[in-house]
Structure 1
Amino acid sequence: MATSQDTPVRNIVFDMGGVLLDFNGPLFSRAFTTNEGDAAALDAALFSSPAWPLLDAGAISESTVERMAQARLPQRLWPNLHECMLHWHEHQPVIAETNALVERLHAAGYGCYVLSNAGTRFWRQKDRIPSFPLMDGWVVSAFERIMKPDPAIYLVLCERYGLDPASCLFVDDNADNVAGARVAGMQAHQFTSARELEGYLKELGLRF
């Protein structure tokens, strides 16, 4: 059986937050508040709260997350919280260099995929990803009820799109998620920048 060490990379699987789009709770919170103290409180109650991973896992709804955040905030900030819940994704910066790299890889014939821990808000987030129309497929945790770094979610992607895990390079900024991909039989690389990733891909022998 071929292993990830002797199988050429034919497919690149990208994380979303931190790779294709920035995910920055303090930044989002500042967009809906007027001072640093309120922004810090909003971030702590929402994006940095224990409830947020449950949203990504598909275990609770956005309305439940909002109610849980209300319990951690003064009532005067509830309108700010509500607006943030509705519109935070509109403030999610694009990582342009990675998206440009996806375009080049796609044009060169490599498979390009998204595998993300994200909530059902993904339906709106994806429209902010310039390279998303070029993706050959995607898997998101909230819809599968499985989260990275569980090896099962990487195998969901491979089985759904008929991919040999050993032919896939998974790219994520989180070290635990990279480790999970390796357990699933993928090749994997921890993302630090698009330039560094491009150099790594060329070291692997990819031509694009």
Structure 2
Amino acid sequence: MAGSSVGNAAGEKDAPSSAEAAIQNVIFDMGGVLMRFSGIEFAREFTSCEDDARALDAALFSHPSWALLDAGAIDDDTMERVSRELLPERLHGALHECLHGWWRHRTVVPGTNELVARLHDAGYGCYLLSNAGTSFMAFKDSIPAFSHMDGWLVSSFVRLMKPDPRIYHMLAGEYGLDPARCLFVDDNADNVRGARAAGMHGHLFTDAGALEQDLLARGFSF
């Protein structure tokens, strides 16, 4: 989809129109928008057969405790203990290496990082808002667009997660942003709804081309 209605589910309305408040800032999600996130693909990098990869993914990335890691409710050591109980001993080494090194195997989402650079160079504010664990500090600089970000907020450090409207308000407050002048970009519809509940505009991400078309339709110039 393209145009100003991108990301609007049926019956939903965006934040105040750009005629009322020109959008000056774009807030980006990380996984699925800037960098790919696929637990099974990461697990395959640390195992030698598909059955082991699926078992590792189920015990780690797809386990409910992964969300607790993102929420800052548990740490990596606790996550490893939980996952270890679900795996045969022969996979414990792979589990440890995967937990502490999965991010080295990420790939970029085509076009979005370049779009961030263009927006930043054109004078727009660019920010990162992600549900992620504290391991973010180890890999943040490997995100191509990170050097073009004017600020960031990650869930595990503040113990709030999208789509809770408070985390969007927290980001806005930290950097002195008017929510009505912000466009939030995420590939998760609930997270976009959370941004709208916080007074922001929203774009449900599918690909960089559709995002660029939506930005142009909203009056961006870059």
Confirm or deny a common fold (TM above 0.5).
Answer: yes
Question: Aligned runs of 1:1-208 on 2, under 5 Å?
Answer: 4-5=16-17, 6-208=20-222
Which ranges in structure 1 are unaligned for 5 or more consecutive residues?
none
In 1, the alpha carbon distance for the partners of 2:16 and 2:179 equals 8
In 2, the alpha carbon distance for the partners of 1:172 and 1:124 equals 22
Q: Which amino acid aligns with 1:23?
A: F
Q: Which amino acid aligns with 2:16?
A: S
In 2, the alpha carbon distance for the partners of 1:82 and 1:95 equals 26
1:75-104 deviations in Å (ceiling 9; x for gaps):
111011011012101001122410000010
Aligned length: 206
In 1, the alpha carbon distance for the partners of 2:98 and 2:145 equals 25
In 2, the alpha carbon distance for the partners of 1:96 and 1:125 equals 19
In 1, the alpha carbon distance for the partners of 2:177 and 2:41 equals 37
Please report how far the alpha carbon of residue 62 of structure 1 lies from its aligned counterpart in structure 2 after TM superposition: 0.4
TM-score, normalised with respect to structure 1: 0.97
Please report how far the alpha carbon of residue 128 of structure 1 lies from its aligned counterpart in structure 2 after TM superposition: 1.5
In 2, the alpha carbon distance for the partners of 1:124 and 1:96 equals 22
Q: Which amino acid aligns with 1:27?
A: E
SS at match of 1:180: helix
TM-score, normalised with respect to structure 2: 0.91
Which ranges in structure 2 are unaligned for 5 or more consecutive residues?
1-14
SS at match of 1:142: helix
1:22-56 deviations in Å (ceiling 9; x for gaps):
11101100000001100000000000000000000
Structure with the larger helix share: 1
Q: Which amino acid aligns with 2:44?
A: R
Please report how far the alpha carbon of residue 8 of structure 1 lies from its aligned counterpart in structure 2 after TM superposition: 1.3
Please report how far the alpha carbon of residue 4 of structure 1 lies from its aligned counterpart in structure 2 after TM superposition: 2.2
Please report how far the alpha carbon of residue 125 of structure 1 lies from its aligned counterpart in structure 2 after TM superposition: 2.2
In 2, the alpha carbon distance for the partners of 1:44 and 1:128 equals 26
SS at match of 2:102: helix
Q: Which amino acid aligns with 1:65?
A: M
Please report how far the alpha carbon of residue 124 of structure 1 lies from its aligned counterpart in structure 2 after TM superposition: 1.7
1:170-208 deviations in Å (ceiling 9; x for gaps):
000000000000000000110000011000000101000
Q: Which amino acid aligns with 1:4?
A: P
Tell me whether 145-154 or 91-100 shows the greater mean CA deviation: 91-100
Sequence identity, in percent?
59
SS at match of 2:97: helix
The list of structure 1 runs, each at least 4 consecutive aligned residues, that deviate by more than 3 angstroms after superposition, is none
Q: Is the 8 A contact 1:12 1:171 kept in 2?
A: yes
